[in-house]
Structure formats: structure tokens, C-alpha cells
Amino acid sequence: MPTYKAPLRDMRFLINEVFDYPAHYAKLSNGKDADPDTVNAILEECAKLCEETLAPLNLSGDQEGCHFENGQVRTPKGFKEAYEAYVAGGWQGLSHPTEFGGQGLPMSMGLFKSEMMGTANWSFTMYPGLSLGAMNTVMQHASPELKALYMPPLTEGRWTGTMCLTEPQCGTDLGQVKTKAEPQADGTYRITGTKIFISAGEHDLADNIVHIVLARLPDAPAGTRGISLFIVPKMQVKADGSLGEHNQVVCSAIEHKMGIRASATAVINFENATGYMIAEPNKGLEAMFTFMNTARIGTALQGICHAELSMQGAVAYAKERRSMRALSGKKEPDKVADAIIHHADVRRMLLTQKAIAEGGRAMIYFAAQYADHMTNGIIEGDDKKYKHWDDKLGFFTPILKGFLTELGLEAANHGVQVFGGHGYIKEHGMEQIVRDARISTLYEGTTGIQALDLLGRKVLVMTRGKAVREFTAQIARFSVEHMTNGKLRRYATELARLAAEWNVLTMRVMLTARKDRDIVSSACHHFLMYSGYVMMGYFWALQAAVASEKLAKGGTEKPEFYKAKLAVARFYFDHLLPRARSHAVSMVKPAKSMMKLPAESFIFE
């Protein structure tokens, strides 16, 4: 199985040299404690936890899976002890307020932690990861009394949380939610209904599980306008914070899944369970989506995690596996054959993995600064600031979630291919990465949903193309700044062309949509992928610019590190960025070529 080593050098390069996080943190009201020494110490300690505790459980957890019996879930061997170590280290509250027992650091610090944990063991990371969404929702929308009762144990990790949205009859279309909430005389509600696909919905890692549940009041209007939001704990919570009786929250099954098998995905039945409303009546969906941008960034991380882990395994194997001689001549004449890393086609796959992992990491670390500003607005009670940064982040999230998970899956498949037949064998762990990666393009909204959100909602409706114009203006400024630099001119020239083309394509789709509404749906996938390739191209050019400067003037890393950055940037512009061209051509083709074939003509009997 791949041996995970946290990519601390690349993380520090982005944090300190590309995006200047020290200066960024200095501007945040909750960033004063995130000084470089503290950040570095946290990264080192998290890497140790991931490499020594979580990574060794990845393969065994997949092989054993979760055990379900009489409504109870037992996680794989070693998971409970690993979770205890996680809680003892105070990792759950890293980016949450000190008043609830957290460390009060910026949200991006939690993202760095989640990347390392997710790469080491994505199944394990799902358990505390789902709690973060529940914590954020409670923190912003619950009453002071409910916060005081629920936030401390959630922040400490003694309790975990879930987000209960999906039901058997509906997935993304939450307007079809049927779970009922009956008001009681004491101000509580009786919650009745079934929720499916509930990650970490039942397990043996914590004393209590706090479910955040979408449900309808008896007089609620139809559709999404009639959904409210409730806290429904598995175990009743007394006024002093101690646990009471079971709350009629029943796990009736766990799913038998293709991947992330050590993460329990539960079917949860609420049988007149006691619930507590958070947010306003019939505005539950709005409250639930408060942190959806950051939740989708968390899912986008999965693409980077699987690309990184698969690359680490594939590179190690490619250096050891010997087959034939390199076409340019013997590379290891004293050996029976050359290592396959000397073959250009293997290099293509390894460089694709590296370009995806490191280019995607740069995209996410940049967006994480937006998330820091957004959450800072919440901390300061500045709604205008929160809205400004949430809107800016909103443009990034569908691109990050859709594009990076698709490329992460591609990178995972390359890892199997490098191993050849051995990659198809379970004991090497490479096929597990593919299986684990497959869900990333599905949950938190499929790639198609992300594409529709990006083009149909964020670009065409909400901003009328302004979101694209703002980001392409940033690309244009980079191009102007580096156009006269001989080492960077090719990147600057190509990016300037793409920035202009991105705006033209946006306008063409916008104008076509006035007459042909189907164009939004037929073009959205190509628009998202085009946007992703251009955006990643910008961040590779940015890394190349910093690496070039550090080679000339000196940096914190060895020259070989910066030279590698320049080599991968060149590979990306030569071999991956040209993919954007095919998406550009396809997105403006008429929708009728997709819609002309009658539904009944797909299969003839």
C-alpha cells in the first residue's frame, strides 16, 4: 500500500512564499496567534498524527469495513483508538472559538489539517469532518442556550455531528423533503421521517451524535420555502450537559459501498424524536447552506488527497519496477532493465498526477483565504463583510468541487495504470484509492450540479458574467506584469489569450441562452472544465513566477524544489491546459445535438 508522507515542503511553499499567509493572518481578527512558528508546529504535529496513526489504518479499514448489528455500528479495528488520539490532540476545535473550547485559529488552518488527514485516511476523516458542518451551523444559527449546550462537546470532539438532508425520494432536489416536525407545548418538536446517505450517522467513536435535520412544519408551504432546520441528538441532553435517554433516533442500515468502506453511511429513522429548531421557521435550507461553500471546498480537497496519495504510491513503484530500456538509451546499464520512470509515457502519468495535486492545492489554498475573510465577518458580526467574501468564494466553489474531484479521479486511475496488473490487486492499495475517489464527484452535489450552479446561477443569473470578469482581470494583471520576462512570457501570453476567450465564451452562452434555454445545461459541464483548466493554469503560472524569483534571489527551499516547480508548470501548459480548447469548442455548440434523440430511442426492444 502507498506509504503516506505529508507534503510539507509544498504546503509551506504555498503558505509562505506564494500566498504570504503570515501577512494574511496578520490582517485577521482571529489570526494573531497564527504566527509562522505556531503554524509550522501545527503542520508538523498534524503530519505526525497522519503518518503514524491514520495512514496505517487506511488499507486495513477498507478491508474490514464497518460492522452493523442491532442498530449499532462498530468501526474497524484501530479507529476508536485513533479517534481518541485525535480528540486528545485538540484537533477538532482547531479553527473554532475559544469560548467553546477551541483554539480560535483561522478556518484555513483547519483546511490544512483536513488535507493531511484526508490523504492519510479519507474514511477516518469523514467522522470528524461531518461534525465540522454541524458545528458551523449550530454556531451561526442556534440560540445562545443551544450553543452553550452543544458546542463545547462538539468542539472538543466528545460528540460528533451529521447533516441530514437526503431522503429516499429526493437527492439534490430538497424541495421534496417529507420529514415532519410537530410543535410541542414545551417548545420542542417531534421529528418523524427517514434520512439516507448520512455519513457518520452511526458509529462507536463518541458518546453522542448530534444530527442537523431538515424537516417540515405542519403548515409549511410546499417546496424549498417550507423547510426548517433542527438539532436532533441521538441521546437526549440534560440541562447540565449530561446525557439522558435514547432519543428515538434509529439506524436501520448502513450502505454497502464501492469505496470509503470504513466510513459508515447510515439510514437514519427519526421516530417521534425530540428536536430543537435552529434558525427561523421555513428558512432551514438557507441556514443549512450557510457554510455550503466551505463544505464544498472540503469535498474538493478529496480530489487533491487522492491525487497526492496515488502519486506517492506510483512514483515509488515507478522507481523500483524495471521493464525494457528507455528509448533514448540505457539509464541504468548495470541493471537488467531500466526503471519505468525513465519511460516518457509513465512520466506523462506521474506528471499529470503531480500537476493535479500541486495545482489543485494552490487553487484551494488561495480560496481558503477568502474563507478566512468570510468567517472573520461572522466573528465580527459584519454581515456586509461576510456577504462580500461569501459571494467571491461562491464563484470558486463549484469549480473547485467539480473540476478537482474529476481530475482527482483521473489521477487515481493513473496510479493503477502505472502499477499495471499489480495496480488491480487489492494488496497494493492503489485500486482502493480509485474506489474512494469515485464518490467525490457525486456527494455535496454531482459534477453536473456544480456545473449548473456555476454557469446557470453564479455566472449568468447572479453576476451576469461579473464573476468571470473579476477573476480574468486578475489573470490579466499577472500577464501584463510578466509579459516582458523571458522565462515567464509564454505563460503570460497564453493566459492573456485565455482570459479574453473566457469572457467571450461567457457572453456567447449568455446571448444564446435567451433563445435556447437548454444551452445552459448542454454547455455547463464544458464551461466548468474550461474554467478549471484556465484557473489551474493561472495558479501554475503563479507558482512558476515565484519559483523563478526564488531561484534568482534565494528562497527557503533547495534549488531543486524550485526547478521542479518550473518543470511541472511547463508540463501543465504543454500537455494539460490544451484540453481547455476542446471544452471551448463544445460549449458553444447548439443544444439540439443533445436533445434531438427521443428518450424512447435510446434503447430498442
In a domain, 412, yes or no: yes
In a domain, 399, yes or no: yes
Count of domains forming the chain: 2
For residues 112-141, average pLDDT: 95
The C-alpha atoms of residue 36 and residue 39 are separated, in whole angstroms, by 5
Tell me what pLDDT residue 4 has.
97
The C-alpha atoms of residue 383 and residue 6 are separated, in whole angstroms, by 37
User: Can you give the residue range of the structural domain that contains 359?
Assistant: 290-446
Residue that terminates a domain, selected from 446, 476, 510: 446
Residues with a catalytic annotation lie at 444
176 burial class (0-12, 13-18, 19+ CB within 10 angstroms)?
Answer: middle
**What would the pLDDT profile of 177-204 be if each residue is shown by its tens digit?**
999 999 999 999 999 999 999 999 999 9
Helix H, strand E, coil C: the string for 408-470 is HHHHHHHHHHHHHHHHHCHHHCHHHHHHHHHHHHCCCCCHHHHHHHHHHHHHHHHCCCHHHHH
Tell me what pLDDT residue 291 has.
62
| Res. 2 pLDDT band, cuts 50 70 90 | confident
3-state secondary structure of 233: strand
In a domain, 107, yes or no: no
| Res. 535 pLDDT band, cuts 50 70 90 | very high
pLDDT at 231 over 90: yes
Domain co-membership, 372 together with 394: yes
In a domain, 246, yes or no: no
| Res. 432 pLDDT band, cuts 50 70 90 | very high
Tell me what pLDDT residue 307 has.
98
Joined together, the cell numbers standing for residue 179 give 420529514
In a domain, 433, yes or no: yes
Tell me what pLDDT residue 151 has.
97
Domain co-membership, 403 together with 502: no
Domain co-membership, 419 together with 471: no
Domain co-membership, 294 together with 430: yes
The C-alpha atoms of residue 443 and residue 265 are separated, in whole angstroms, by 12
3-state secondary structure of 279: coil
In a domain, 2, yes or no: no
Global model pTM greater than 0.85: yes
The C-alpha atoms of residue 424 and residue 376 are separated, in whole angstroms, by 46
In a domain, 466, yes or no: yes
Residue that terminates a domain, selected from 446, 469, 500: 446
**What would the pLDDT profile of 64-85 be if each residue is shown by its tens digit?**
999 999 999 999 999 999 999 9
Domain co-membership, 299 together with 439: yes
- Nearest CA to 453 out of 287, 292, 228 is that of 292
Tell me what pLDDT residue 605 has.
75
The C-alpha atoms of residue 417 and residue 133 are separated, in whole angstroms, by 36
| Res. 293 pLDDT band, cuts 50 70 90 | low
The C-alpha atoms of residue 419 and residue 319 are separated, in whole angstroms, by 11
pLDDT at 289 over 80: no
**What would the pLDDT profile of 355-411 be if each residue is shown by its tens digit?**
999 999 999 999 999 999 998 888 888 889 988 998 999 999 999 999 999 999 999
Mean model confidence pLDDT for the chain: 95
Residue that terminates a domain, selected from 383, 411, 446: 446
For residues 84-97, average pLDDT: 97
User: Using the 8-state DSSP alphabet, how is residue 575 labeled?
Assistant: I
